[in-house]
Structure 1
């Protein structure tokens, strides 16, 4: 059963707190960390206010509690393939790593190494690897675990094996028009790439200009007008 949205939002607020307390430095541009209602999780820099923004999606947080919905997220492959947290997947490890992943994008942007069409590049992974190798990722993990306990919330440390989503991916192909998210925050777009466990979607309409990596099981088909 999916974790209640209120629980996910509370966990998201703690992720924001840990990101600001453990990772962020006043030497960087100001940071606003927030919890979104959908699954979209991203770093963005506002050039007008010169301010970084990190958003953690409540539905992303809920999805990373379950093997069958966690499998499509890039953070799963990163932990397994790069050996972060000894390659062990758990809700705690996934959410702690998500904090590090988005903060690595912040540092990547600050270093001028984030380019259109080249986001998860070698510069990004050099930064992310370093966050893990110097112990900051483990510090994030411990701080998140402790804050969750202090608030009387639940966040499992039990390891799990993700459920493959290849069957869901077989239903999609580039060019398909899809939607995802909630009715209040529904995002529409067009699939541009079918990945190993997710689809890359370019936003359309109000989301034009945004790109999302979406687990296949969260996509809904949109019929285009004749």
Structure 2
């Protein structure tokens, strides 16, 4: 069986494992009046989303993610591998079934985190999330791993890592003189810092290239930032490009340990005490129930 068909077969097997886990661990979700579904994606995207209008959680399992985690060189780059090693899940051992079983538990933990109201903007993989994930591993990790290994066996797929695909060297195709059209669609003719011009609503806009993407170029003109197709841009005189505005001060509020603070959660104030100041967030212990929070600086207020 080819890698493609192995990954596709296992992706659909993992959907059944998600629903099996929901059957034994989903009481908090059903008690909240929510439903849960699992779907297969064709790419690497593997995530949990909550549809508030339908009160439905959707866990997507990406087929290319499955293929990646079956290949040792790429598997070690995923957050799943880092979490297994860092927290000692499954004994810290990396195998394709353990990586995929952890993926199921990780995404389901996000569903439980959302139901508990502990998924904050800018603070998703927070201490509360890892507390839920550790409990899921303790209560259901062995069952999920056994189900994933059974999915391998049923589809007659070896549980070991696949070798990295071998790339064949092929001579580059012969290229004739580049036509004007080919030149227009070649985004590589631009580089960060280049001055470009393009037409927008009957006006000529001059801008600076800040990044070259796969199919677009990112540009900045004064306070305007965006992406455009390279086919719409042409080289411009650098002297005509307005200089980028000086960045506004990014000074953030300062807090100190034991300082009394408050923030809003679900439109209600939570009062607490600073326990630690991190790079992007502040660790706060709630005064009412002792719960620990990690709150972005921008959402925190001095009491």
TM-score between the two structures when normalised by the length of structure 2: 0.51
Can you list the C-alpha shifts for 1:18-59, whole angstroms capped at 9, x where unaligned?
Answer: 111123426522111011000000000011111110001100
RMSD of aligned alpha carbons = 3.0
Higher relative contact order (CA 8 A, sep 6+): 1
Structure 2, unmatched stretches of 5+, are: 164-209, 219-225, 235-303
Give the secondary structure class of the aligned counterpart of 1:105.
helix
Q: Whole-Å Cα distance in 1 between the matches of residues 211 and 121 of structure 2?
A: 23
| 8 Å CA contact retained: 1:145, 1:155 | no
Q: Which residue of 2 aligns with 1:146?
A: 150
Can you list the C-alpha shifts for 1:175-215, whole angstroms capped at 9, x where unaligned?
Answer: 75545xxxxxx9x899xxxxxxxxxxxxx98xxxxxxxxxx
Seen in structure 2, the aligned counterparts of structure 1 residues 189 and 5 have a Cα distance that, compared at 3 Å, is farther
Kindly report structure 1 stretches of 4+ aligned residues shifted beyond 4 Å.
175-179, 222-226
Seen in structure 2, the aligned counterparts of structure 1 residues 68 and 122 have a Cα distance that, compared at 3 Å, is same
Q: Which residue of 2 aligns with 1:128?
A: 133
Q: Whole-Å Cα distance in 2 between the matches of residues 155 and 83 of structure 1?
A: 24
Q: Whole-Å Cα distance in 1 between the matches of residues 84 and 5 of structure 2?
A: 27
Structure 1, unmatched stretches of 5+, are: 161-174, 180-185, 191-203, 206-221
Give the secondary structure class of the aligned counterpart of 1:45.
strand
Give the secondary structure class of the aligned counterpart of 1:34.
strand
Q: Whole-Å Cα distance in 2 between the matches of residues 189 and 70 of structure 1?
A: 30
Q: Which has the higher helix share?
A: 1
Give the secondary structure class of the aligned counterpart of 1:101.
helix
Q: Which residue of 2 aligns with 1:163?
A: none
Q: Which residue of 2 aligns with 1:209?
A: none
Q: Whole-Å Cα distance in 1 between the matches of residues 126 and 51 of structure 2?
A: 22
Compare CA radii of gyration and give the structure with the larger one: 2
Q: Which has the higher strand share?
A: 2
Give the secondary structure class of the aligned counterpart of 1:54.
strand
Mean CA deviation greater in 3-12 or 82-91 = 3-12
| 8 Å CA contact retained: 1:93, 1:157 | no
Give the secondary structure class of the aligned counterpart of 1:33.
strand
Which residues of 2 match residues 10-29 of structure 1 at below 5 A?
10-24=9-23, 25=26, 27-28=29-30, 29=34
Which residues of 2 match residues 31-110 of structure 1 at below 5 A?
31-110=36-115
Aligned residues: 173
TM-score between the two structures when normalised by the length of structure 1: 0.67
Seen in structure 2, the aligned counterparts of structure 1 residues 157 and 139 have a Cα distance that, compared at 3 Å, is farther
